[in-house]
Structure 1
Amino acid sequence: MQPNSVSPASEKQHIVIVGGGMTGGLLAVLLAEQGLTVTVLDGAPAPVMPTGPAQLRVSTLTEASHWLLQNSGVWEYLDMSRVQPYDAMQVWDQDGTGEVLFRAREVGAQSLGWLLENGHLAAALYRRAADYPNLHWRCGVAVEGARREEGRWQVRAGDEQWQADLLVGADGARSRVRDWAGISGGARDSGHHALVATIATALPHNACARQVFMESGPLALLPLYSDPQQGEQRQCSIVWSGWPERIARLREAAPADFAAELQAATGEALGEVTLLSERAVFPIQERHASSYVAAGLALVGDAAHVIHPLAGQGVNLGLLDAAVLAEEVERATQSGRSCADSAALARYQRRRRGENLLMQNAMRGFQQLFGQRALPVRWLRNTGMRWVNQAGPLKRLFASQAMGRGADLPVRARPRA
């Protein structure tokens, strides 16, 4: 199934979204459902459903993200054999005895979240886009510039040009849309690099997400779908964050040596491990745009904010950006105002910027807290983790927040009664 071909470039577009990843794709679907004309311009090739070995980049979806995707009709386009729900999450401190174990049943849920490949979700969104004749998704289109003239944005790619009442930057951390709007990206080096890879484990993961905090940085073992070649529940994605020199050494280590270090770092939580994939490394740089909006323009996802991946919340924050922006646009258009109404954009920023900044600061605080070697700090954090693990109401509160049960969720993201 192919998305609809683009309308002539001279035709006025209501909304142009630059970037067709997970956040931009969901936003396009939500806006198209309102009957607005939407064009997605994406420099990448058309996403395809993954087959074979698991892709390196995976995401953890919260309950809120699950409801968003289900209520927008995207969930049904996923290949459920490649989606792994998890109903437990274990977090511990390598330097002590502190540990917290969250279980879905403690918050009245069947799952705490879902794990799937980024490319898988992008492909499902692309397929869903084909259901809307008013949604035109152009792949392999590198946008070269945008300028605002006579109340509209003029977006240029090669010899083609689009006019947009509302221009949305969903083009990632190095957003060119953000630059064209003159908005500062607010970059900050976290001091960490991250290594991602896929492993097989001797022991089944039992649908439990695990994370160990070390002085050098956190290490997450994320349960993946069952691969017949690896056996039931014996495949995990890892995200190992740490000092650049340590991560570089891990990337270059022989597979057997890497596996041995991984086993030691996790206390052999899943027994012997085997490296199944290449090891990819990327720097972790936090960003928070000085503004999410400008005249006729909005930023969503990584174009607006990038946080440390230690809690796996980056994609979920972006999906909520998309849902809130779509909700505010719908509120404006239903009352006869423009999709780029300044009050609607201001409300979008007010609803999302504070929550995203709070999450970013929380992740930075966790990184700094667990990087401390001082004995009093280690004692306090281990004592605190044990206390949280025993304090039912507080643990349920943390689990609910991690599941995306926030106070200002868009209607589509709220769990059903």
Structure 2
Amino acid sequence: MDVLIVGGGMAGGMLAAALGDSGLRVTVLDAAPEPVMPEGPPHPRVSALTEASQRMLTQVGAWAQLPAARVQAYQRMQVWDGDGTGEVTFDAGSVQAEALGWIVENDALVAALYRARPANVQWLSRTRTQAIRRQGEHWQVTLEDGRVLSAPLLIGADGARSRVRDAAGIPAPVQDTGHVAIVGSLRSAMPHDGCARQRFLTSGPLALLPLSGDGQDCSLVWSLWPREAERLMALAPEAFEAALTQASDACLGALSFQGARQVIPIRTLHASDYVRPGLALIGDAAHVVHPLAGQGINLGLLDAAVLAEEMQRSLSRGLPAWHAAALNRYQRRRWGHNALMLRALSGIKALFEANALELRWARNTGMRWVNRLVPVKQLLAREALGRQGDLPRLARK
């Protein structure tokens, strides 16, 4: 065995798929059951994928595994200040794009990556780790059933509470954002028209993300102070839906829930390092960002793709895929980019929470100014698409 990936989520699945044709023997250790494609009503946990992520998923064969019924493209984006007149709208046509992004259920994307796994990847579901330690030139993982696996390269793709990160002794202080998020699937009285909407309120941003179906299904991500979330969750369903419709500015008419509403904490973290000898962190094991711009999964997928590219480059030079130079190049390419995103999202959150009159005037004036300047809007739209530079070259077709 050459590579052990602990974690079979989106980042871990992407890395496994991207290592096809590498000649490496890869094993994924996934604590969850075998991934299956969801059916029925949309699941509440979704991700907004950029054009860059869609292209990478296409390269590794996962995009073709996603049923059209679980994917919704959005061609427009509307962002406005709930405490003023500032508004910015983006359109895919202005940047010659098919779409600004795609809303995909998390479970569907994991199942697609599982289906796309190459022959050199062994995926072990319902497999929990008990202990992780460095043993000579290998990392050794003891499973709960007593089996012991070892490999010269260990990948931590096991989420924000990463046991791999802890075993490597890599600090990653957790920052409480002061927010929780209410999430769920909604029905709207008016069609969403393929537009992703986000209204910034003093208590936090409220996002309505379009889902596939008949055009009236949406995913809710409503960031709130914990006490306000507790108050809202205590309301009867009809009263909660009325409050939600009002908070959304009734931009889609009356909103009603499909299934349960859930509350999840919002915390951020950033590991001080992404690598140790024979070890690398990707996805939420390396960084967790505020969900207000929907960038978390895109950063994780890009981590996986860059790491796969550096491993392939090392192999092409006659060096091991886990050579220190390859891992260090991965860290140099990803750590600074992710740190910048963390700071930017924290700054946006702070700006829209500010109640000072001069700051409210400045942000509303700034949004109106941006909305009138087409070149600036095009630049921001290209950034949202993930067109910051060349994408990693992945081996699989």
**TM-score range relative to shorter protein:** over 0.9
TM-superposition CA deviations, 1:233-252 (whole Å, max 9, x none): 00000000010111122222
- Counterpart of 1:153 in structure 2: which amino acid? W
- Counterpart of 1:149 in structure 2: which amino acid? Q
Counterpart pick for 2:23 among 10, 23, 35: 35
Counterpart pick for 2:78 among 90, 103, 106: 90
CA distance in 2, matches of 1:133, 1:367: 44
Counterpart pick for 1:48 among 15, 36, 41: 36
CA distance in 2, matches of 1:48, 1:288: 31
CA shift for structure 1 position 408? 5.3
1:241 is paired with a residue whose SS is strand
Q: In the alignment, what sits opposite 2:221?
A: 239
2:244 is paired with a residue whose SS is helix
- Counterpart of 1:213 in structure 2: which amino acid? F
CA shift for structure 1 position 161? 1.2
CA shift for structure 1 position 32? 2.8
CA distance in 2, matches of 1:147, 1:112: 43
Q: Is the 8 A contact 2:72 2:103 kept in 1?
A: yes
CA distance in 2, matches of 1:75, 1:302: 22
TM-superposition CA deviations, 1:6-44 (whole Å, max 9, x none): xxxxxxx10000000011001011113312110000111
Q: In the alignment, what sits opposite 1:7?
A: none
1:323-402, aligned counterparts within 5 Å?
323-402=305-384
CA distance in 1, matches of 2:119, 2:248: 50
TM-superposition CA deviations, 1:113-132 (whole Å, max 9, x none): 00010000011111111xx3
Does residue 15 (structure 1) correspond to residue 3 (structure 2)? The answer is yes
- Counterpart of 1:191 in structure 2: which amino acid? G
CA distance in 2, matches of 1:19, 1:357: 23
Does residue 191 (structure 1) correspond to residue 191 (structure 2)? The answer is no
User: Which consecutive aligned stretches of 4+ in structure 1 deviate over 3 angstroms post-superposition?
Assistant: none
Give the RMSD, CA atoms, in angstroms.
1.1
Q: In the alignment, what sits opposite 1:155?
A: 141
> Which stretch shows the higher mean deviation, 216-225 or 252-261?
252-261
Does residue 305 (structure 1) correspond to residue 287 (structure 2)? The answer is yes
CA distance in 2, matches of 1:263, 1:304: 36
CA distance in 2, matches of 1:393, 1:354: 27
Does residue 164 (structure 1) correspond to residue 146 (structure 2)? The answer is no
Q: Is the 8 A contact 1:165 1:339 kept in 2?
A: no
Q: In the alignment, what sits opposite 2:298?
A: 316
Counterpart pick for 2:88 among 76, 90, 100: 100
> Which stretch shows the higher mean deviation, 31-40 or 403-412?
403-412
Aligned length: 394
- Counterpart of 2:135 in structure 1: which amino acid? E
Q: In the alignment, what sits opposite 2:119?
A: 133
Q: Is the 8 A contact 2:174 2:268 kept in 1?
A: yes
- Counterpart of 1:313 in structure 2: which amino acid? Q
TM-superposition CA deviations, 1:129-176 (whole Å, max 9, x none): 1xx332100000001111111211111103211111110000000000
CA distance in 1, matches of 2:341, 2:368: 23
CA distance in 1, matches of 2:18, 2:347: 34
- Counterpart of 1:154 in structure 2: which amino acid? Q
Q: In the alignment, what sits opposite 2:112?
A: 124
Counterpart pick for 2:130 among 144, 147, 152: 144
2:264 is paired with a residue whose SS is strand
Q: Is the 8 A contact 2:308 2:394 kept in 1?
A: no
Q: In the alignment, what sits opposite 1:217?
A: 204
CA distance in 1, matches of 2:267, 2:249: 29
CA distance in 1, matches of 2:119, 2:247: 51
CA shift for structure 1 position 270? 0.3
Q: Is the 8 A contact 1:351 1:408 kept in 2?
A: no
CA distance in 2, matches of 1:87, 1:272: 23
TM-score calculated relative to the size of structure 1: 0.93
CA shift for structure 1 position 412? 5.1
User: Among the aligned pairs, what percent are the same residue?
Assistant: 54
Q: In the alignment, what sits opposite 1:229?
A: none
CA distance in 2, matches of 1:272, 1:117: 23
1:350 is paired with a residue whose SS is helix
- Counterpart of 2:299 in structure 1: which amino acid? L
Q: In the alignment, what sits opposite 2:162?
A: 175
Q: Is the 8 A contact 1:67 1:412 kept in 2?
A: no
Q: In the alignment, what sits opposite 2:189?
A: 202
CA distance in 1, matches of 2:4, 2:344: 33
Structure 1 regions of 5+ residues with no counterpart?
A: 1-12, 227-231
CA shift for structure 1 position 261? 0.9
CA shift for structure 1 position 276? 1.1
Structure 2 regions of 5+ residues with no counterpart?
A: none
CA shift for structure 1 position 411? 3.1
CA shift for structure 1 position 409? 3.2
